[in-house]
Structure 1
Amino acid sequence: MATLTGRDAALPMQMPFVLAPGDRGLLFRLGPDRFRIDFDDTAVRRVADDSIDTHLLNRGMPSPQGDRVAVQQGDSFAVFDAAGQKLVTRSGEPDLTWTLPEQPWSPDGRLAVWRVDQRAVHHIPIVDYSNATERVTMVAYAKVGTPIAKAELHILDPISGALTLVPLPHEEGYRWLAGWREDSTALVLHLARDGKRLDLLAIAQDGRVRRLLREERPKTKVADLNFATDGWRAQVVPLPGGEFLWMSERDGWRHVQRYDKDGRFQRQITRGAFPVLRVDRVASDGSLIVTASADPAAPYDERIYRTGRDGGTLRPIATEPGVHTANLSRNGLYLVDSWSSWTSARVRELRRLDGTIAMRLTTADATAVQAAGHTPPEPITVLAADGITVLHGALYRPFGFDPALRYPVIAYIYGGPFGTVVTRNFTGSSMTRSAETLAAAGFVVVAIDVRGSAGRSKAFGDATYGRIGQSEVADYVGGLRQLGAQRRWMDLGRVGIHGHSWGGYFAIRGMLTAPDMFKAGYAGAPGALDEDALVNEPDMGLLRDNRLGYAAGSNLALADRLTGPLRIMHGTADVSAPVSSSMRLIDAFIHANKSVELLAIPGVGHNPEGAVSDYYRDDVVRFFIRTLGSSKAAASAPKSTISVDERTTD
């Protein structure tokens, strides 16, 4: 690469390869330079500035014919031909933008594009404090009970440049282009604002709109933020001939159903007391490759199975404990299984569809982590506050654990209804790293996926519908007492609570509603039930329909109950949970004559990154050492983060 670039060049850990048009090669960047590797001769060549390859590297999306590419350009978009010449462009403006969907091209070469109008949406101020002359940017942020964005779908003819507005129903909600049928019919998902109704709409080539399917839950929800951020991608799978697969919780668990081309129910494909997370691929023989959490002893593991076109028993393909991700080959004979668990670093294996391993492709080198004394978390189960529901979680032991010592305890909480706090793979998440940092500093850390969180049955997820904030802390308190009764080295007289985002809300909630258990709390970027509409309304109902539930879940009215030390961190540029939520809390504490600490980080968004993230985690540790004390083992804890490298094995 140094020969090609004319300077020293270091390859990154993961190369961001892009397929060249016609799948004839790979495109990649190295610093400011762009290159192409052709499959026929494996030669590496520079890519011209004005070529279609450059547009593909700029996140362009090629047409099925490979002769055009659509590129998002800020608020606008453009279409280029194979020579890199611009054919069509449409310019947007702030709060009235053109946005390309993930699958913008129809099989016949037309382009779908959203026109998103946020002009009537509430705006929040984001202040740039980096200079003495502050700059203020107003950012659209739809709050509970206020107008939300409107999205119109347009279809572009790239030859004539004509844009045609699709006459979608005029009703509040959220929309996604879910895919295309073979005949270039577009499939659009529409989720009602309150999350109680999900429609599948078919848009024919002539622009006619027809509703194929409606799923409705008048008393709870069909979907929420989890669906909006990622779940919609797995909701519908078009099949040859116009049939489609649909994910539904109608029988109490998330399963696969098949419908004919007109939206008439045919049959349920998968069944059982477990959720199917997604259909990874439909094989050439019509069988389905699915990812499911089908082991009752490990209800959050994600494993790969195969089932027939008409259903039947799930046949295992990859069922080692942990989290698996499948990528099926084009000929449908093999899949790449990328998986890891708490005890096994990530490996990638080439598997046949009967589950046998053809070869191991890569394995992660975790020797440095193990040499530093890393131990995986301990899986735990406790009963929820109802005394019936089994909850699963993880317990992180302190570095240099000695059962003869008494350790302070941190309850690491998330509690939001569209996620889990415990990650079941090896490297974990930002929440895992925070828990491990606290454990390295001498704390026992307990993380529990409480009632109302994602990944289990419909009833489990609905446990907190309309009443967020009323049972999650109680689940933690009960769980901690059960664990402490069995582990004398857990000092339940020194328990703190910490979380970020929803976890920040619940950390404050714990300090206000369970002061006998929680002696100190650290809340990172806490939200509130009256902030983001999409975050709250599908899980609480609309404000006008559930004012008592919203009021009961507010931390503001409980400010006078604070008895222990509480510290809040908030980034001033947070556009997910605006800093105003913390400002209102601090105002309530002031009026209640309660002391509270605030760490405001200038210019940082919802999730601190890099050095700021390190500072944040260290600040959490310092706070709890100051307020709860630590153990003697903390002094020998490792001071640096050790990475896990992936290496190809011979």
Structure 2
Amino acid sequence: MTHALLPRFLASALLLMITSVSVMAATAADIRASVELRQNWQVLTRNLAFPAHWLPGTHEFYYRVTVAGGFAFIKENADNGQKGPAFDQTLVANGLSKAQAENVTALALPFDDFWYEDDGIGFYLHYEPWHCSLTQANCAKKPETSQPMADDEVRDLRVPADNHLRPSPDGKLQAHVVDHNLQVVDQHGKIVLLSQEGTAGNFYDPQTIQWSPDSRYLVIFRVTPGYARYVTRVLSSPQTQLQPEVIQQLYPKPGDAIDMEQPVLFDLHTGKHTDIDASLFPNAYDLANLYWRADSKTFAFEYTRRGHQQARLIEVDAASGKGRVVIDETSNTFIYQWRGYRHDVSQLGKEVIWLSERDGWAHLYLYDGKRGKVKNLITQGNWPVREVVHVDDEKRQIWFAASGVNAGEDPYFVHYYRVNFDGSGLTEITQTAANHHVSFSDDMQYFVDNYSRVDLPNVAELKKADGTLVRVIAKADISQLTAAGFKAPQVFVAKGRDGKSDIWGLIVKPQHFDPSKHYPVIENIYAGPHDSFVPKDFWPFGYHSGGDKVIGMQALANLGFIVVQMDGMGTANRSKAFHDVAWKNLGDSGFPDRILWHQAAAKKFPWYDISNGVGIYGASAGGQSTLSALLFHPEFYSVGVAFAGCYDNRMDKMSWNEQWMGWPVDDSYLRSSAVVNAAKLQGQLLIIFGEQDSNVDPSSSLQLVNALINANKDFELLEVPGGEHSVGRSTGPIDYVQRRQFMFFIKHLLQQPTPNWNKQ
């Protein structure tokens, strides 16, 4: 070692020594307490309500609320204030216990939301729809009632289509498909129309039949099937047998051939049928929201071109079968049609409300539907419309959600507004500076406003349409949670790479935080371009916030870390330019902004120690971003735990990846690939994935493993037998997976020994 290097070496060694003695080594009891923090804290709030849902056509609404021992579902009448249980939770718990052969308790039902249906309720459990009776203890997973579409792009032809007779509005005719052809019969079963050209390779899909309101016409899609790609998984440890089980899942990937749909118009008076001109929708990725106008003279549908750079509204004249383009939207990057919106005023199409980002922000436009020209902007400003809630054609008013309107507030806070079609009369109906979740009764006479911030516990209020308070439904009591040591995360803002954009994030400190000490920093990352992910609501266990929740960050912080989360450029809910950073660039993950944010925090807070590298963890797209941090920014990120990641976008589901990386598949996919760039790994890496991940192909993780081995890189690997995309939650103990994550950071970021759990 040269004398020139000695001072720098000694300084680094001294800094490491200072850091290591600043935070005491975690014991087995410390780790166990962190792993169990969620289950211990989730019962410590009272009267904390979640967003409400209204029963259709009524003034009754229901919601979930925290009570002693867990959660209760409450139903309440807006008019008279009467309330009671939304359903018999004990009955449902008994039914689920029998159906799953495991104990389920009434105040710990395994779902957050439900809906009323038939004689009971429906909900999702482990990604699958379930039904529970409310008259007897009987619950079951719901059978498939229609032919599923994998990733909404390729029909699963292993499952029969729902081919029941579909009656015309006047009840005189019925339509279905026989031997791949459309057949229409009258009330006596006599065939009045039968197509001839349908084949197994070019079939009519009965699930797409749409009658015109006057019963004269119907439109149906004729389908040329796409490529049936199957992901094959091996369930190594089934619960019902000794030998492994093979599972196949239809799973289209970027670049695969998809189902090609041809709308065909049938005239029941003449027997004539017309293929709608496909030159209006070339290379279609999606034909969506087909809708007959109320006068039966036209129907319309939305078209997205593959590659997501063109979207159109196409109208078809029923008498002639001729189509025309009403609205044509193009972009040099992507059009985010998942957030698109269209409304035909008075169901006639003479005027159309359309959402566009053409001026750099997501806004509503009023179109002349006949001329295809913009009449006026409805909303405008440097803020995005987030959701259209209701349109009143008679009053010519729109209710919508938006964020970033109010100067001085967090630009991600959602508020609700009313505006006239001509853009006048913009009125805010949620005044509190917080993040709002609003639900309206069908007749728009009432709404429930559930608002909070990370430092403001949930308040749920019932209001009239004009914003007048009717009553407070629930106001959270967090006294027990506070007594247990809960402290709200700290909001921190710094400038991004452009020197202008504010990057918003949260800092979570240990419960026993000492500002005189130095704490290494770990970033919780989820950078998917489909949304923003830093929690804006209070609830420490999270809802509508994406990624990991504040409680998981707190549990990790308690072991001697500062844990942070921020939304960098490339995520949604800001300007189009902010979002466009992700285009063909998922490997970026906003890291230039994130690194600047960390550096700004370290400059401001002496206890924020990034001198020995920053740790990082994330799941799914966050797993991919974790690898991107270690591979592309090894000078800054030194330790990572990657959960259930897609490490090469060619291996993941088509819809999500082509939306951001484009089509056809090009070298941008390679540039963002952790598998292709695996040889760049310098830091410490733990890969965790579930053997039965149905969201991201598990082979993506193993291909990364293969690439790392071939590059002679060291890493750790945990594959959870039977684990789904949530890794261990559905089939194994999540505390084991979380414990392994926590210990990895203790070992490699704190550089401390970890307990021998085999002797615990």
Larger Rg: 2
Task: Give the aligned partner of residue 552 of structure 1.
Answer: 671
Q: 1:257 aligns with which of 365, 368, 376?
A: 365
Task: Give the aligned partner of residue 34 of structure 1.
Answer: 133
Q: 2:563 aligns with which of 445, 458, 465?
A: 445
1:431 match: secondary structure: coil
The answer to whether 1:619 aligns with 2:740 is yes
Once the 2 structures are TM-superposed, how far is the Cα of residue 422 of structure 1 from its aligned partner? 0.7
Q: Distance in 1 between matches of 2:204 and 2:538?
A: 40
Once the 2 structures are TM-superposed, how far is the Cα of residue 393 of structure 1 from its aligned partner? 1.4
Once the 2 structures are TM-superposed, how far is the Cα of residue 2 of structure 1 from its aligned partner? 8.3
Q: Which residue identity lines up with residue 505 of structure 2 in the other structure?
A: G
Once the 2 structures are TM-superposed, how far is the Cα of residue 107 of structure 1 from its aligned partner? 5.9
Task: Give the aligned partner of residue 348 of structure 1.
Answer: 460
Task: Give the aligned partner of residue 306 of structure 1.
Answer: 418
Evaluate the alpha carbon distance shift between residue 579 and residue 19 of structure 1 in structure 2; reply closer, same or farther with a 3 A threshold.
closer
Q: 2:116 aligns with which of 5, 12, 18?
A: 18
Q: 2:388 aligns with which of 264, 279, 284?
A: 279
Once the 2 structures are TM-superposed, how far is the Cα of residue 96 of structure 1 from its aligned partner? 9.7
Q: 1:244 aligns with which of 352, 363, 379?
A: 352
Evaluate the alpha carbon distance shift between residue 278 and residue 150 of structure 1 in structure 2; reply closer, same or farther with a 3 A threshold.
same
1:563 match: secondary structure: coil
2:683 match: secondary structure: coil
Task: Give the aligned partner of residue 538 of structure 1.
Answer: 659
Q: Which residue identity lines up with residue 265 of structure 1 in the other structure?
A: V
Residue pair 1:408, 1:495 contacting (<8 A) in 2 also: yes
2:689 match: secondary structure: strand
Greater mean deviation of Cα atoms: 178-187 or 467-476? 178-187
Task: Give the aligned partner of residue 200 of structure 1.
Answer: 313
1:130-529 mapped onto 2 (5 Å cutoff): 130-131=237-238, 132-151=242-261, 169=281, 171-177=283-289, 181-183=293-295, 186-202=299-315, 208=321, 210-223=323-336, 227-228=337-338, 231-232=339-340, 235-240=341-346, 241-242=348-349, 243-262=351-370, 263-283=372-392, 285-293=395-403, 294-296=405-407, 297-312=409-424, 314-427=426-539, 428=542, 429-432=546-549, 433-470=551-588, 472-492=590-610, 493=612, 495-527=614-646, 528-529=648-649
Once the 2 structures are TM-superposed, how far is the Cα of residue 441 of structure 1 from its aligned partner? 3.4
2:417 match: secondary structure: strand
Q: Distance in 2 between matches of 1:358 and 1:156?
A: 52
1:337 match: secondary structure: strand
Residue pair 2:166, 2:176 contacting (<8 A) in 1 also: no
- Identity, % of aligned pairs? 27
1:345 match: secondary structure: strand
Task: Give the aligned partner of residue 43 of structure 2.
Answer: none
2:227 match: secondary structure: coil
Q: Distance in 1 between matches of 2:206 and 2:458?
A: 35
Q: Which residue identity lines up with residue 116 of structure 2 in the other structure?
A: V
Task: Give the aligned partner of residue 16 of structure 2.
Answer: none
Residue pair 2:92, 2:133 contacting (<8 A) in 1 also: no
Q: Distance in 1 between matches of 2:481 and 2:308?
A: 43
Q: Which residue identity lines up with residue 161 of structure 2 in the other structure?
A: S
Residue pair 1:76, 1:97 contacting (<8 A) in 2 also: no
Residue pair 1:405, 1:631 contacting (<8 A) in 2 also: no
2:565 match: secondary structure: strand
Once the 2 structures are TM-superposed, how far is the Cα of residue 151 of structure 1 from its aligned partner? 4.6
Q: Which residue identity lines up with residue 675 of structure 2 in the other structure?
A: L
Task: Give the aligned partner of residue 639 of structure 1.
Answer: none
Residue-pair matches, total: 586
Greater mean deviation of Cα atoms: 434-443 or 404-413? 434-443
Q: Distance in 1 between matches of 2:547 and 2:477?
A: 20
Q: Which residue identity lines up with residue 413 of structure 1 in the other structure?
A: I
Once the 2 structures are TM-superposed, how far is the Cα of residue 165 of structure 1 from its aligned partner? 8.5
Q: Which residue identity lines up with residue 490 of structure 2 in the other structure?
A: E
Greater mean deviation of Cα atoms: 110-119 or 314-323? 110-119
Evaluate the alpha carbon distance shift between residue 628 and residue 265 of structure 1 in structure 2; reply closer, same or farther with a 3 A threshold.
same
Q: Distance in 2 between matches of 1:623 and 1:273?
A: 43
2:629 match: secondary structure: helix
Could you report, residue by residue, the CA deviation over 1:22-67 in whole angstroms, capped at 9, with x for unpaired residues? Answer: xxxx8547998635xxxxxxxxx789x9xxxx99x98999xxxxxx
Q: Distance in 1 between matches of 2:637 and 2:398?
A: 48
TM-score, scaled to structure 1: 0.78
Once the 2 structures are TM-superposed, how far is the Cα of residue 556 of structure 1 from its aligned partner? 2.9
2:456 match: secondary structure: coil
Q: Distance in 2 between matches of 1:613 and 1:112?
A: 49
Task: Give the aligned partner of residue 232 of structure 2.
Answer: 125
Q: Distance in 2 between matches of 1:340 and 1:104?
A: 43
Q: Distance in 2 between matches of 1:60 and 1:511?
A: 45
Unmatched 5+ stretches in structure 1: 21-25, 36-44, 62-72, 158-162, 636-650
Residue pair 2:282, 2:305 contacting (<8 A) in 1 also: no
Greater mean deviation of Cα atoms: 597-606 or 364-373? 364-373
Once the 2 structures are TM-superposed, how far is the Cα of residue 476 of structure 1 from its aligned partner? 1.8
Task: Give the aligned partner of residue 69 of structure 2.
Answer: none
2:527 match: secondary structure: coil
Residue pair 1:406, 1:631 contacting (<8 A) in 2 also: no
Residue pair 1:520, 1:628 contacting (<8 A) in 2 also: yes
Residue pair 1:408, 1:631 contacting (<8 A) in 2 also: no
Q: Which residue identity lines up with residue 609 of structure 2 in the other structure?
A: D
TM-score, scaled to structure 2: 0.67
Alignment root-mean-square deviation, CA:
4.3
Evaluate the alpha carbon distance shift between residue 346 and residue 79 of structure 1 in structure 2; reply closer, same or farther with a 3 A threshold.
farther
Q: Distance in 2 between matches of 1:435 and 1:98?
A: 48
Evaluate the alpha carbon distance shift between residue 78 and residue 543 of structure 1 in structure 2; reply closer, same or farther with a 3 A threshold.
closer
Once the 2 structures are TM-superposed, how far is the Cα of residue 481 of structure 1 from its aligned partner? 1.2
1:435 match: secondary structure: helix
Greater mean deviation of Cα atoms: 568-577 or 269-278? 568-577
The answer to whether 1:586 aligns with 2:586 is no
Residue pair 1:543, 1:550 contacting (<8 A) in 2 also: no
Evaluate the alpha carbon distance shift between residue 144 and residue 378 of structure 1 in structure 2; reply closer, same or farther with a 3 A threshold.
same
Evaluate the alpha carbon distance shift between residue 181 and residue 517 of structure 1 in structure 2; reply closer, same or farther with a 3 A threshold.
same
Residue pair 1:167, 1:207 contacting (<8 A) in 2 also: no
Residue pair 1:295, 1:301 contacting (<8 A) in 2 also: no
Residue pair 2:527, 2:589 contacting (<8 A) in 1 also: no
2:488 match: secondary structure: coil
Q: 2:162 aligns with which of 58, 77, 86?
A: 77
Residue pair 1:393, 1:447 contacting (<8 A) in 2 also: yes
1:583 match: secondary structure: helix
Evaluate the alpha carbon distance shift between residue 470 and residue 3 of structure 1 in structure 2; reply closer, same or farther with a 3 A threshold.
closer
Once the 2 structures are TM-superposed, how far is the Cα of residue 301 of structure 1 from its aligned partner? 0.8
Once the 2 structures are TM-superposed, how far is the Cα of residue 612 of structure 1 from its aligned partner? 4.5
